[in-house]
Structure 1
Amino acid sequence: MSSADTIRFRHNQAILVAAIVAFLGALPLASVEWYLSPVLLVPLAVGIWAWRAGTDADPRELRLRALAGDRRIRWDQVAELTTDGRGRAVARLGDGQEVVLPAVRGTDLPRLVSATGQTLPGPR
């Protein structure tokens, strides 16, 4: 399976830039006293999350990536793709569990379905 077959959904990279700016802004505070150095961990964690978190979709599976791990869901486990009240994409699994797809909006569902090699029916 080539990476060309994979569709990637990521959060806006402006979050990563904001985390870098926050890290640089926290440096003077953290350098005042040693016990203030953990303040640097917050923008660092946000930056790593912004760089890593998202959803990868290919013809075999969905891969949900988070700050410190990932989860793979085969397409045959997905019963339905829908949206929640906030406009986020949600996968309902065959066992009734609902999984929010990181960085995927409801408007991205046609692109997500195209990763399976299938198409959505057109309007009637």
Structure 2
Amino acid sequence: MSTPDMIRFRYNQAILAAAIIAFLGALPLASARTYLLPVLLIPLAVGLWAWRAGTDADPRGLRLRALTGQRRIGWEQVVELTTDPRGRAVARLDDGRQIVLPAVRGTDLPRLVSATDQTLPDLAG
């Protein structure tokens, strides 16, 4: 359930639409022979991942969601929020690990920080 102060980051829903189209396109192939039925699992898994995966941020911390599970990280564990060379947002934890935040781009970092109820320093002044 979403709270008013929670910020949700999700992948583009065009991925879900593409998965639905791929599923419908694979139906004739999968219905031709019974051993081809597992072909339907690929667009189904991609569609479920696109619908579910992402990052939720609130004042308590981050919740990273994947296809089959989720992980909660408190803000007290996060040492630094940065970007990687591909432009994805990365959280560096106090134990030295770096975790890529699903569906969060580097340009989304100010929105992500706003979920902490803290402010970013004004670097322009």
Fold match by TM threshold 0.5: yes
Corresponding residue number in structure 2 for 1:24: 24
Cα offset for 1:61?
A: 1.1
Taking a change above 3 Å as real, the CA distance of residues 102 and 2 of structure 1, as seen in their structure-2 partners, is closer
Aligned to 1:52: 52
User: How many residues are aligned here?
Assistant: 124
Match of 1:86 in 2: 86
Aligned equivalents of 2:13, 2:79: Cα separation in 1:
31
2:20 & 2:92 partners in 1: Cα distance?
Answer: 35
Q: Secondary structure at the match of 2:119?
A: coil
1:69-114 CA distances to partner (integer Å, 9 max, x unpaired)?
Answer: 0000000000000000000000000000000000000000000000
Letter in 2 for 1:35: Y
Shift in Å, 1:2: 6.3
The 5-angstrom pairing of residues 1-124 of structure 1 reads: 3-122=3-122, 123-124=124-125
Alignment partner of 1:31: what SS? helix
* Consecutive unaligned residues in structure 2, runs of 5 or more: none
Deviations 1:8-43 (A, max 9, x none): 000000000000000000000000000000000000
Q: TM-score, normalised by structure 1?
A: 0.98
Task: Write the distance in 1 (CA, Å) between the matches of 2:17 and 2:110.
Answer: 29
Identify unmatched segments of 5+ residues in structure 1: none
Amino acid at match of 1:57: A
How many Å separate the matches in 2 of 1:118 and 1:108? 15
Identity of aligned residues (%): 78
